[in-house]
Amino acid sequence: MSRKLTLWLAAGLISAAALSGCAGQTSEDGANQAQEEEGFNPRGQILALSCASCHGTDGESVGIIPGFFGKSSTYLENALLDFKNERRYSTVMGRHAKGYSDDEIKLIAEYFGWVSQQTTSN
């Protein structure tokens, strides 16, 4: 990781630490702790929030673009990997899926799997 990027991330940590009055927590620790407390990974959430713009809030589509609310994490992970690796035809989805590592795709799939379990309607 570059120095400047580390600084940006560290800066976020300082802001948060100043507010909470606690320090010494790394970004990764924070993410893991949050997952234990909240049931979701904050990184997965950040990665997943954009999807709703085309697929509807929580993946509940109101238009012709397919929704995915209620699908399992495994289903979503496989679908995204298929789009990424061009095993499944798409107009624009493949262009998006290529923007994420396989690990990130797993996090996105896990987040929406978790959302579907939490929410009966958004």
Where do contacts with other proteins occur on this chain (CB under 8 A)?
2-5, 7-22, 25, 27, 30-31, 34, 42-43, 45-47, 49-50, 52-57, 61-65, 91-92, 95-100, 104, 122
Q: Which is nearer to other proteins, 61 or 72 (CB)?
A: 61
Q: Token pair for residue 60?
A: 């509940």
CB of 10 vs other proteins, minimal distance in Å: 8
Q: Token pair for residue 14?
A: 């300082």
CB of 49 vs other proteins, minimal distance in Å: 4
CB of 105 vs other proteins, minimal distance in Å: 12
Q: Which is nearer to other proteins, 57 or 78 (CB)?
A: 57
Task: Annotate 35-73 with b (16+ C-beta within 10 A) or e (fewer).
Answer: beeeebbbbbbebbeebbeebbbbbbeeeeeeebbbbeb
| Contact call for residues 25 and 13 (beta carbons, < 8 A) | yes
| Contact call for residues 116 and 60 (beta carbons, < 8 A) | no
Q: Which is nearer to other proteins, 58 or 73 (CB)?
A: 58
CB of 118 vs other proteins, minimal distance in Å: 11
